[in-house]
Every structure is written in structure tokens, then in C-alpha cells.
Structure 1
Amino acid sequence: MMFRTLFSKTILGAALAGLAITSYGGSKSVTLSDSDLKQTESLYKAQCASCHGTERLGGMGPALLPDNLSRLRKNKALKVIANGRAATQMPAFGSVLTPEQQALLGNYIYTVPKAIPVWEEESIQASQIINHQPSELPAKPKFEADLMNLFLVVELGDHHVTLLNGDTFEPIHRFKSRFALHGGPKYSPDGRFVYFASRDGWITKYDIYNLTVVAEIRAGINTRNLAVSSDGKSVMVANYLPNNLVLLDAETLDLMKVYPVQNAEGKTSRVSAVYNAPPRNTFIAALKDLKEVWEIPYPSSDKSKFNEERAPKVRTIAVNDYLDDFFFDPDYKLLIGASRDAAGGQVVDLDLGKVTSSIPLPGMPHLGSGITWDYQGKQVLATPNLKEGKVSVIDMTTWEVIKDIKTEGPGFFMRSHEKSPYAWVDVFFGPNKEAVHVIDKKTLEIVKTLRPAPGKTAAHVEFNKDGSKLLLSIWDMDGEVIVYDANTLEEEKRLPMVKPSGKYNVWNKTQYERGTSH
């Protein structure tokens, strides 16, 4: 529930246009009386709809439908309603709602709606918007800058994106995005195009050189993230709702194939996330409701020869537990994953196609924000923890925890750069959200704690191309992006922005720089 969004009336109308009745195969659903249903619908709209969508289809929070709650027992759901949920923006309603009202909401989210949304191939294709054919747009940028040292800054507060010069740290252009981008934008290999995914399923291709939207398509109803192939020819979209992966042609976002996500027995699953694996020429997806990892090769670069028979086939790898969160080693040979409720992590050898090791990681490690570096002749993985105030440093040969670095509270983002001696981690959750720790990668000690905006959340560091400077966000409507010298740790500049969240450097993302998310 971290990066949550709302359905706008327009988007919701598009979703409802494709509604159809489907069954909930085996989910534990409940039935409310007409009077209880009417009362609860009113209560839900007042307390929950702003985050989870008026039709329970998901927004800033996840969809609240029986199938989406298959891993959450109703008694645990009631505790979440009363007490909130750790490491999310789900608030506690125990002091706001009576026990009876909480029970009504608990029953309501497990009721099957009168109409279940279906977003199939016809709906996807009908949603496509092509503003420009690629040949229409000049290959020369409209501005002067190091094109590999640009940043895109996502401003969640008013749904805009700022293009930033990574040398001067001056804004080049600011443009409106779809409602609540999610999962981080992904660049084409040459850095010219960027692909955005919004939480309500819209995929946008933007031409950075010409400062314009090229094409859009709605690939799902509740989308997790997207990945772009290393050849720049295809895009894979991971969806929570419907339970599928959607393959698009990168040029104009034409639909190529929908992969329903289900196992041999027909049980379906949301997709935790999908990533590009450059050395493997594949997309890799982990599943939220099935104990499987999927690997799908890139399609043929000649899209004129693409058809259902030639579509890449799914390679399925069984794992020991659900993978809510995961990370790859720099060679993309190993996937390191963890379940939200597990007491540790597991290591999946993608070459061998099986789990080969386990990692003792209690709490809730945020492996999706993990980074690697060389420490005393070995490669280590460091990950913050969403539930506990610590950063775990792990030997990637023995998979033993070398050290737990104590922090002032649970963290969400951790970042570094190959050329930087430091790793940065925030304290995203809890009373010390204003703090950011700087860790010496040689000593594994915190050497400095910054508090750049007392009382406001400081989070998400991104380095520039050569690792000499970095940006830090102040997550507030009256927010800022702060520029630091990466070596002296001194502040150099502040740029006012509207709740800036992620910042994405073209070089780091296209070169898969160690120390940043991919």
C-alpha cells in the first residue's frame, strides 16, 4: 500500500465500461443483508474509498475484493482495520469506528460485488491513444544537457514530473502525469524515451527529447509496475487486477499478448512485480499469491512475425514461499526474495531453476530496496527493514548476516553508487521520519545522521551519473528536493517541489548501476 492512488471519474468510467460477472473460484466470501449492505457502503465511502477506490478496485491502497484478500484471514483484516498496518500508510480506525462498524467493514470487503471488473484484450486495445508516430519526432533534443545525466522527479502531490538537469540541477521542463505513478519509470536503452505506469493501469510513453507524450494504453485496472527489454523493443506490465502480465510493443504500445497468471490447477495470482533481466534477455516476475517465479524471454525483434504461436513461453520456477518483495544480484543469476509474513528470505538460482539457500531475516526486510557493494573482498547485500530499525548486511557467498546496523526506525529506501564510499538509508516509518543515515561502506558504521526538514519525511536518495552529487526528497506538499555533495555530505541546493518522491537518473537506470533500484 505504499504508493497509493485514486481512480478518477474518467478512469473509473473506463473500467466499468468493461464490467462482466465472473466467479470467485473458491475464495471465502460472505453475504450481507440489504440493510447492512446499505449502511456499510455508506461507511466505506466515508472512510475507505479515498484510498481503495469507490468500487473497491484499488487506488492508493490495494483492491479490497475477496480474491485480492485470499492471503489475509478475516480476523487479521479486522486487526488491520482497528490497528493499521505496519510499513504502510494504512491508518488505525480503532479510535474512529465502533467495533460494530469495524465488523461491518470487515464483512463488506469479503463480499462479492454485484459486478466484477474484467479488463480484457478488447478493452486494452480500445484504450490505446497514439499522439505521434516515432518517425514524426526529431531525434535531436529541444534542450542542451548531458542526456545521460538527466533526472526525472516524480511529484506525487499534484501528479507532475519534473525533468532536471543533472549537472546544473536546474529544471528543464515540468509536465502532468497520469494519476499516481507507481513502481518507478523505466527508460529505453538510449535514454530518449521513458515509460510510466500509473496505479490505475495507464502506461505512458514519453519522449524526453521532444517533451511530449508519444502514446498511452490502459493495460490493467490495478497495476504494480512495468519493465522495458534491453533491446528497447517490448514492455511487460505487471497487474494486481486482473491477475495477469501484459506484453506491449515499445514503439507505439500496441498490445502483443496477455499472459493470464495462474498455476496448473487454475489458481490465479496478483503479480508482485516484473523486472528486466539484461544478461538473460528475459523478463522475470514474482507472484504474490502463488509460490512461483516466472521467466519470459523477449519476443522476436521483428514484430511483423509475432503471433500467438511464436509468443515467448513462460518458464515456471517453484519457490518455498510467496515473494512479496525481491531483489537480484548484479549478474541476474540469483533472485533473493521474502514474504511479508515470513521469518527469513530465500535465494533462487535462476540458472538451476530452484531455491538454493535461505537467509535469516526477521522483521520485514525491504529487499526491493536492497543494494550491493564489495566489502573486505566479498560482495554483500544490504537491506533496510520495514518493521524494525535496522539495516542487515549479508554475505552473498554464505548468506549469513554479517551485521545488523541499528537505525532510528524502520526504513524504506536505501541507495548508493559504485563510486561513493557511503550508503544512504531513510527512517521512513515512525516518529523519526525526518532522519536519514549515512553509512560508511568500509566500516559498516553510521557516520552521519541528517535531519534536513524537522518534522517532515526525508526519503529516497538518487545519485547523479558520476556519483559526485545526490538528491534527497522531502515528502511533503510543501516539499523540496535537496542536492548534496556525495563526498563531503554538505548541502548545496534546495528545489521546491510538490511532495517529490522518486528521482530517477538516466545513466544509473540504463546502465543498471550498483546501488540503485532497477
Structure 2
Amino acid sequence: MKCRRSFEAQVAIGLIALLLSGPAPAEPGPDAGVLYKDHCSSCHGEERLGGQGPALLPASLGRVRAAEILKVISDGRPATQMPAFSGLLAPADVAALAQFLLKEPDVRADWTEADILASRIVGPATPVAPMVQVADPLNLFVVVEAGDHHISILDGDRMEPIARFPSRFALHGGPKFTPDGRYVFLGSRDGWITKFDLATFRIIAEVRAGINMRNIALSSDGKWIAAANYLPATIAILSAETLAPKKLFRVADAKGKSSRVSAIYQAPNRNSFIAALKDVPEIWEIATDPDAPPVYSGLVHSYEQGMVEALASSQGLFALRRITVEQPVDDFFFDRGYRHLLGAARDGDTGMVVNLNVGRTIASIPLPGMPHLGAGISFEWQGRRVIAAPHLNQPKLSVIDAGDWSVIKTIETSGPGFFLRSHETSPYIWADAMLGGKRDAIQIIDKRTLEVTKSVVPEPGKMAAHTEFDRTGRFALVSVWDNDGSLVVYDAVTLEPVKRIPMRKPVGKYNVYNKITFSEGTSH
């Protein structure tokens, strides 16, 4: 242990020296490019775009900190093929590599339709785990374990894991399920999409849709997957059956300015994908119906009468409609009928209401504190449909009337949070405070009174987040976000814990039935 601490201290000192260095020293330091080529490129690719291992670009690494990068290079990563280099490289070499990975490459990477097709991998013929009899296949949970990059399949009737297999690096939350619940699609920050069969426990196929991916969406008929990419700035449309690419949109506004995609979701009532663009003030609607009526890239409105006049139009499968808004949208939430989109504006203090039928912003809502609308929920309150959303920078929830777009109430919480969850059978909202000082608590809010009724602590001192209900709404599962974490199962009526299931940092879990039915209280 003394030797290990000494090595890590030397690495940290080496990194600090590199970051704070002034003029070049008389003797040249480590050549990080050569080190990368010799020790990393065979797994992570010559251009750092990934291969057997994940992409090593700032955009792909996301929130991974320099200290963690140092540790992984030095010590390896458990339950993966990433080796430890502390016995092979000097501390200064490890520090140079860490700094190198945090810099953008000289050449901006691209990923074409041909690259997507060439990356496709057909899955293994044998199951990843022995088959287990499942009482209700629609009450399964797919659990994303970030601690060691695995997926666990949980039987929601017995609350027991029944399968576990390695996942791609840094899976994004929000797996997508086919309408019958048989197949699930998993998307990674590295752009990989995995199709898994929940009936046979087999990986069917994998494909890389981009280099740095924001999220994926599945069309309402289950035929098409859309991948929203930061790098390159594209939306890739793939066959859900084969994962073969069908269309690649280069994302840019009408004047040609490129943009990343904030998020993409299906709008089932509209038979379309809706995407918000992060760098330009546009929202895109992409038709997923081959018989779709004309959609418009330019509109003249008469909002009061709901009339539109086409200036330019296209129709059919993958027809693109552009909606111009006042400023870029970071994330968004739909009203119940998918007529309106409630988006978080770039200023972090405003919600924008866009009428998707007529293609324009109809209201602006003051929501200071960076609302996280993508994690919102909708429910009935005193005969009115309302939307509740947490705030990332302030300890509160906002409850918004989906009729007149006023803020009905601001509910004070114990800290800024990220996720809200409920269920149509439950009178409660479960809200975390993972971005504040009381990160180990979940607050339970009564949907009838809009008041905090109880606070539960799944494990003192460890972050609690992301509640998900079983199919019936009888049980609520909360994640303890720790490498030695767990799922804590609560009785959703008594609000008391009934079981603890060990997991490796279970960042999210998703119930098949709730997701395919768009259960009230869950997200897209």
C-alpha cells in the first residue's frame, strides 16, 4: 500500500507540473502522442475514436475528471480489459497521457453512413446468461450499472436479478423498448447502440451511430431508431430490425450553421421524432410515417385559427420540418397530447412553450434555477393537467399548469435535484436532491396537496437518485449511486423499505411496461 500511494502521489505531482509548466524545459518531457500510439491506440483507435475500448475524446469522456483518468491509466479498470500501466510507465508518462486525453484532437472527426454500416456487429448466437422463467416479461427492469459498465435484468415480480452482461462504455440512461416489450436498445456516449432480446437474453446486434452521442429514440411503430449526436453533428436514422443506417441528417440551421443535438424523442401521437438543437434556435420534426402528410420548412401562421400556409414542403418518411424558436433549447417535455413542447431555454431561467401544430413559441414561463424539463412528470391536479419539473441550480420543483402555462406552485426541497418519478396508481412524487448538500435523501411529495410529506434516506452518506416504479405501482426502486451501491425497494404505499439488492452504481433502471405504455410519472 505504501508503494501504491507513493506512485499515485508522483503521478499527481507530474500532472500538476505539466499543467503549470511555463517555458519548455531544457530536456523534453514525455511525448504523449508517441505514448498513446504505443500503449493505447490498439484498443482505442489511432484517432482516439474508440475500438475495442471507448473513444478517448473530451466530448466522450464527459464529466470524467483528471484525477479519475490518472487512476484508470495507473490502476486499470475492474471487470474490463483495461490494464494497469503503473508498472510499465513512469509517473510523468501517466500524467502526460492524462493531459493528452483532455485535449481536443487536431483534426475534427467525422462519422459517415459508410462508417456506421461498417461498424455493425452481429451479436453472439448463445444467450449471455441461462434462461430463467419470468412470471411477467413486461415487469422486467433493465438496470444500468455504471460502476463496472454492466447491464442487469431484474425480475420485477420477485425483485431478483436474472441476467447480467457487460455493456458499452458510459451508457446513457433511457433505454428504448419496442412496442411489444421484447427488445431493448441501449445507447452509449461513444455512439454505440446495442439491441438486446429480453425473451432469449441475447445481444442481437450492435452498431456505432456516431462518435459522441446524446441519446436515442425509437419510433412509435418500433421500426426506426434515431441517434442524436454531438460529434459529428448528425441525426442518424437506423432500421430497428437490423441496425443498418437508412438516413443521415447533417444537423445545421437553414443558413448552414452546424449544431449539436440537445435531445431527440418520439412523439407517438404525431408519428414523428422531435429534436431540439443545442447551438441554433431550431426544433426539428422528422416524420416516421411513409404516408405522412406534407410537413413544412417555412410557415406563415394564423395562430388563433390554427391555419398554416406552406412556403416549402416535403412529405413521406423522414420528411424534415424546421421550427424556428427564439433561442436554443437544452431539453424538453411534451404535454399529454403532444401538441406542445415545453423547453428549457439557454438562459437557464426560462421555459419556452412551442405549439408544434403551428410551429411557433406561444408562451414564456419564468423558471429561474435551470429547470430540468427532460426529467419532468405530468399528472392531474384539481381537475387540471399539470407538469412538475426539478431545477438543477435551486432547491425546488416547479408545478406548471399545462392549460394556461402559469406556475401554480413552487415546492421547496432539501436541495437541487435531477430526477422526478411517479406512477398513475401513486399519490406521490419521488424527488432526489443529488445536486445539493443532502444528496442521500429522497423527498416524497403528495400530488394532492403539493407538499413534501416525507423524506427517506436509502443509505446514509451515499447519493440517492432515480426512482422507478414496478408495473403495478406497488413498489418504488431507488438507486444508491455508489460502486458498492444498491437498489432499495420501497413499499409505495407505506413508504417503508422492504428489500435491498446490491448493485455497482446503478445509475438508472427502467421498467418495460411503464416505458412502452408511457406510464404517467415516467419519462421518454
TM range (shorter): 0.7 to 0.9
Q: Choose the corresponding residue for 1:125, options 106, 117, 121.
A: 117
Q: For 1:420, what is the secondary structure of its paired residue?
A: coil
Tell me, in whole angstroms, the C-alpha distance in 2 between the residues paired with 1:512 and 1:40. Answer: 53
Q: Is 1:286 matched up with 2:270?
A: no
Moved more, 169-178 or 112-121: 112-121
TM-score by length of 1: 0.78
Kindly report which structure 2 residues correspond to 1:238-249, keeping only aligned pairs within 5 A, or say none.
Answer: 238-249=228-239
Aligned-pair distance for 1:296? 0.5
Amino acid at match of 1:123: D
Q: Is 1:230 matched up with 2:253?
A: no
Kindly report which structure 2 residues correspond to 1:49-68, keeping only aligned pairs within 5 A, or say none.
Answer: 64=58
Aligned-pair distance for 1:112? 7.1
**Paired residues of 1:60 and 1:199 also in contact (CA < 8 A):** no
**Paired residues of 2:349 and 2:371 also in contact (CA < 8 A):** no
Q: 1:289-312 CA deviation, whole Å, 9 max, x = no partner?
A: 1111100111549xxxxxx99652
Tell me, in whole angstroms, the C-alpha distance in 1 between the residues paired with 2:188 and 2:24. Answer: 35
Which residue in the other structure is 1:188 paired with? 178
Q: Is 1:375 matched up with 2:367?
A: no
Q: For 1:382, what is the secondary structure of its paired residue?
A: strand
Runs of 4+ more than 6 Å apart: 32-35, 38-43, 53-62, 88-93, 108-112
Q: For 1:513, what is the secondary structure of its paired residue?
A: coil
Q: Choose the corresponding residue for 2:241, options 251, 264, 272.
A: 251
Kindly report which structure 2 residues correspond to 1:109-258, keeping only aligned pairs within 5 A, or say none.
Answer: 113-131=105-123, 143-258=133-248
Kindly report which structure 2 residues correspond to 1:321-400, keeping only aligned pairs within 5 A, or say none.
Answer: 321-400=327-406
Number of aligned residues:
439
Aligned-pair distance for 1:393? 1.0
Amino acid at match of 1:376: Q
Q: For 1:324, what is the secondary structure of its paired residue?
A: strand
Q: For 2:142, what is the secondary structure of its paired residue?
A: strand
**Paired residues of 1:142 and 1:210 also in contact (CA < 8 A):** no
Q: For 2:343, what is the secondary structure of its paired residue?
A: strand
Aligned-pair distance for 1:397? 1.6
Amino acid at match of 2:322: T
Q: Is 1:316 matched up with 2:322?
A: yes
Q: 1:227-282 CA deviation, whole Å, 9 max, x = no partner?
A: 11111111111101110100001111111010110112111111111101111111
Tell me, in whole angstroms, the C-alpha distance in 1 between the residues paired with 2:217 and 2:225. Answer: 6
**Paired residues of 1:152 and 1:161 also in contact (CA < 8 A):** yes
Q: 1:91 to 1:218 in 2, by over 3 A?
A: closer
Tell me, in whole angstroms, the C-alpha distance in 2 between the residues paired with 1:171 and 1:340. Answer: 41
TM-score by length of 2: 0.77
Which residue in the other structure is 1:496 paired with? 502
Q: 1:229 to 1:276 in 2, by over 3 A?
A: same
Q: Is 1:419 matched up with 2:425?
A: yes
Aligned-pair distance for 1:113? 3.8
Tell me, in whole angstroms, the C-alpha distance in 2 between the residues paired with 1:462 and 1:41. Answer: 48
Q: Is 1:468 matched up with 2:458?
A: no
% of aligned pairs identical?
A: 51
Aligned-pair distance for 1:131? 3.0
Tell me, in whole angstroms, the C-alpha distance in 1 between the residues paired with 2:29 and 2:422. Answer: 51
Aligned-pair distance for 1:143? 2.3
Tell me, in whole angstroms, the C-alpha distance in 2 between the residues paired with 1:383 and 1:276. Answer: 20
Which residue in the other structure is 1:261 paired with? 251
Tell me, in whole angstroms, the C-alpha distance in 1 between the residues paired with 2:260 and 2:490. Answer: 39
Kindly report which structure 2 residues correspond to 1:496-515, keeping only aligned pairs within 5 A, or say none.
Answer: 496-515=502-521
**Paired residues of 2:55 and 2:190 also in contact (CA < 8 A):** no
**Paired residues of 2:144 and 2:173 also in contact (CA < 8 A):** no
Tell me, in whole angstroms, the C-alpha distance in 2 between the residues paired with 1:380 and 1:310. Answer: 34
Q: Which runs of 5+ in 1 are unaligned?
A: 1-31, 69-84, 94-107, 302-307
Aligned-pair distance for 1:142? 5.5
Q: For 1:501, what is the secondary structure of its paired residue?
A: strand
Q: 1:452 to 1:311 in 2, by over 3 A?
A: closer
Moved more, 336-345 or 117-126: 336-345
Tell me, in whole angstroms, the C-alpha distance in 1 between the residues paired with 2:459 and 2:47. Answer: 37
Q: Choose the corresponding residue for 1:274, options 249, 264, 286.
A: 264
Amino acid at match of 2:112: E
Q: For 1:180, what is the secondary structure of its paired residue?
A: coil
Kindly report which structure 2 residues correspond to 1:85-100, keeping only aligned pairs within 5 A, or say none.
Answer: none
Q: 1:131-176 CA deviation, whole Å, 9 max, x = no partner?
A: 379xx99xxx852321111111110101111111111101111111
